């Protein structure tokens, strides 16, 4: 008998075709997010779950779904999943690292360039029919080339972001929980710095850390005051890493020059203060949103789930201890 699974959000046809070869599939192709009660009801008789960052997998859900053996997240981040609770119940949890590194790095650069050159501002100006002609001092931005790029979080995606900086002749400094290997520093031409030193020196600060209790409000009012008044902050990692209310105030009073944001606290209910600011570029959490990357993410999650339910060890297993518990 095939294991029963729930796919909580709309995925691609080839993903469902692959899953159907191995599992009995219930799929939410209407793409309406399930609330906790509905999710628990639909998962009650399921062995596996393929979910997204919009789905909260916590102890209460797991208690309501005793058959559940595996949770496959279609994301590299997994702050929507209580890993400890999964491990306690012997539920394997997986993510999709690697396949989205380049696309997410591209989006960080898009935000950097758009903020530096005020692209959303000037496009709105043109669309409103307000452009009357060229002027020497019109829409002055800041240069990206030869600037200092500070990356907080030098994991896979952080390193891809740093690699692209060579094309702009930028100086790269980074802060990380642990210093990366010397050969990586040499390859990226990157200098290790404390977080405080990085914030004080960088023209562009790019955040690339996972969200956790440790990184909650990693950038708040004090950190923003440490930055240059000409600096630009880029958050393309997870909402909650930045204190959005503090950032709104910092942009209002000119503590920093601008910000490019793909993620927000309490998204999609972003802080309304951002909407009144011209110095911020806003995107709706699209870091990995290219067709090729999202297809690869969905298939990676599907393969993780099938492997887990077939008695194997998924390549992207987050809690190896879960197998010992079950």
Please list the active-site residues. 238, 267, 285
Residue 67 CB neighbour total at 10 angstroms: 12
Helix, strand, or coil here: 69? Answer: coil
For the record, the structure tokens of 88 come out as 């306690």
Buried b (16+ CB within 10 A) or exposed e, 152-188: bbbbbbbbbbbbbbeebebbbbbbbeeebeeeebeeb
Distance separating alpha carbons of residues 201 and 286, to the nearest angstrom: 28
- Tokens in use for 266? 């309490």
E strand or H helix that includes residue 174? strand 171-175
Both tokens of residue 256?
């920093």
- Which class for 210: exposed (0-12), middle (13-18), buried (19 or more C-beta within 10 A)? middle
- Using CA atoms, how far residue 217 sits from 136, 210, 243, 244, 259, in Å, is 40, 12, 5, 8, 16
Name which of 119, 197, 210 is nearest 158 in CA terms: 210
């Amino acid at each position: 008998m095939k294991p029963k699974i729930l796919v909580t959000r709309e995925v691609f046809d080839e993903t469902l075709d692959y899953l159907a070869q191995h599992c009995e599939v219930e799929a939410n192709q209407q793409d309406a997010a399930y609330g906790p009660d509905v999710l628990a009801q639909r998962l009650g008789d399921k062995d596996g779950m393929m979910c997204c960052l919009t789905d909260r997998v916590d102890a209460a859900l797991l208690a309501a779904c005793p058959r559940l053996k595996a949770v496959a997240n279609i994301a590299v981040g997994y702050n929507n999943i209580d890993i400890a609770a999964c491990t306690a119940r012997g539920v394997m949890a997986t993510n999709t690292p690697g396949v989205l590194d380049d696309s997410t790095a591209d989006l960080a650069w898009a935000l950097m360039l758009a903020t530096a050159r005020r692209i959303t501002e000037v496009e709105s100006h043109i669309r409103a029919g307000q452009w009357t002609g060229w002027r020497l001092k019109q829409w002055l931005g800041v240069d990206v080339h030869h600037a200092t790029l500070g990356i907080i979080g030098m994991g896979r995606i952080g390193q891809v972001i740093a690699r692209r900086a060579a094309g702009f002749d930028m100086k790269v400094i980074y802060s990380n929980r642990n210093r990366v290997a010397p050969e990586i520093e040499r390859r990226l031409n990157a200098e290790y710095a404390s977080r405080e030193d990085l914030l004080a020196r960088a023209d562009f600060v790019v955040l690339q850390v996972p969200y956790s209790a440790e990184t909650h409000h990693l950038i708040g009012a004090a950190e923003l005051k440490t930055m240059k008044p000409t600096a630009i902050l880029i958050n393309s990692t997870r909402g909650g890493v930045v204190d959005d209310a503090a950032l709104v105030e910092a942009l209002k009073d000119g503590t920093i020059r601008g910000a490019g944001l793909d993620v927000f606290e309490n998204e999609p209910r972003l802080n309304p203060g951002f909407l009144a600011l011209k110095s911020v570029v806003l995107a709706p959490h699209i870091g990995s949103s290219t067709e090729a990357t999202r297809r690869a993410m969905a298939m990676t999650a599907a393969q993780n789930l099938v492997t887990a339910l077939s008695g194997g060890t998924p390549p992207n297993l987050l809690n190896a201890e879960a197998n010992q518990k079950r």
